Amino acid sequence: MSILLFVMLGIFIFMMFRRNKKTQQQQATLQSQFAPGVEVMTSFGLFGRIVEIDDEENKVTLELSPGNLATVHRQAVTKIVEPAAVPAADAPAVPDDASSLTAQETGSSTTPLETPDETLKRLNDEGKKDN
């Protein structure tokens, strides 16, 4: 019984080291793709473009928006962001003015308009149904 316990412990330790090695390889592959101009995301959710990489101090300077720079640790950059290409045919049509957004639809309305007195009467009648 104790032999089985040691075998299970050995398998567990082997799997743990294997997982750590895979994570380190993925991180090294990602770090090798860093270059100025690459769009990235940090581990804390900031998106930006790499401006400068300082290998000696493990720092990366990101441009978050035009003129706004942030310096983060190199390991804080966790993902390279690929820009999403939006086809022109799938882009929604934007009207030139707001008149099309406020225009009344032609045709019959599904809910008839009621006066304030009718609304008050309807709401009072609904309250009586609950009792």
pLDDT in tens, 34-80: 888 889 999 898 899 999 999 899 899 999 988 899 999 988 888 88
Instruction: Indicate whether 88 pLDDT > 90.
Output: no
Residues of the chain with pLDDT > 70, as a percent, come to 75
Residues 95-109 have pLDDT tens digits of: 666 666 665 555 555
C-beta atoms surrounding 1 within 10 Å: 4
Q: Is 45 left (phi over 0), alpha (psi -120 to 50) or beta?
A: left
C-beta atoms surrounding 23 within 10 Å: 10
Residues of the chain with pLDDT > 90, as a percent, come to 32
Assign 15 a pLDDT band (cuts: 50, 70, 90): very high
Helix (H), strand (E) counts: the chain = 3, 5
C-beta atoms surrounding 48 within 10 Å: 22
Q: Which residues contact 101 (CB under 8 A, 6 or more apart)?
A: 95
- What's this model's pTM, rounded to 2 decimal places? 0.49
Instruction: Indicate whether 110 pLDDT > 80.
Output: no
Q: Which of 71, 84, 69, 74 is nearest to 30 (CA)?
A: 74
pLDDT of residue 124: 86
pLDDT of residue 116: 87
